[in-house]
Structure 1
Amino acid sequence: MNTEITQWVQQASPAVTAAVSAYGVAVLTQVQNTAADTTVRLGQRILQVVWQRQDDAGQAEMERVVEQAADEHDDAFTTAVLTRLLKRALQDDPELRMELTTMLPAAATVTITASGERSIAAQHIGTAITGDGHTTPQL
Structure 2
Amino acid sequence: MVALAQQITPYATAAVTAYGAGVLTRAENSAADATVAFGQRLLRRLVHRRRSPDTAPDPVTVAVTDLAAAPADEDLQAALRLAIRRALTADPELYQEISALPRPSGPGDAVQAIGERSVAIGRDNTGTIRTGDSPSNQPHV
TM-score, normalised to structure 2, is 0.64
Specify which of 67, 75, 78 is matched with residue 77 of structure 1: 75
Alignment counterpart, residue 42 of structure 1, candidates 31, 38, 41: 38
The residue that corresponds to 1:88 in the other structure is 86
Which SS does the other structure have where 1:35 is aligned?
Answer: coil
Query: Could you list the runs of 5+ residues in structure 1 that have no partner in the other structure?
Result: 107-139
The secondary structure found in structure 1 opposite 2:32 is coil
Q: Distance in 1 between matches of 2:21 and 2:39?
A: 12
Residues 36 and 75 of structure 1, relative CA distance in 2, 3 Å threshold: farther
**TM-aligned CA deviation for residue 54 of structure 1:** 4.8
Partner Cα distance (1:10, 1:60) in 2: 20
Quote the residue 1:31 is aligned against: 27
Distance 1:21-1:101 versus aligned 2 partners, 3 A rule: same
Q: TM-score, normalised by structure 1?
A: 0.65
- Give me the whole-angstrom Cα distance separating, in 2, the residues matched to 1:31 and 1:79: 23
Change (3 A) 1:6 1:104: farther
**When you count helix as a share of all residues, which structure comes out higher?**
1
- For residues 60 and 91 of structure 1, do their structure 2 counterparts lie closer, same or farther at Cα, with a shift above 3 Å needed? closer
CA drift at 1:59: 5.4
Which structure 2 segments of 5+ residues have no match? 105-141
Kindly tell me: are residues 58 and 37 of structure 1, through their superposed partners in 2, closer, same or farther at Cα, counting changes over 3 Å?
farther
Residue equivalent to 2:10: 14
How far apart in 2 are the matches of 1:58 and 1:27? 20
Over the residues paired in the alignment, what is the CA RMSD in angstroms? 2.1
1:61: how far off? 4.2
Decide which of 100, 103, 108 is 1:102's aligned counterpart. Answer: 100
Does the CA contact (< 8 Å) of 2:15 and 2:40 recur in 1? yes
Distance 2:30 2:61 in 1: 23
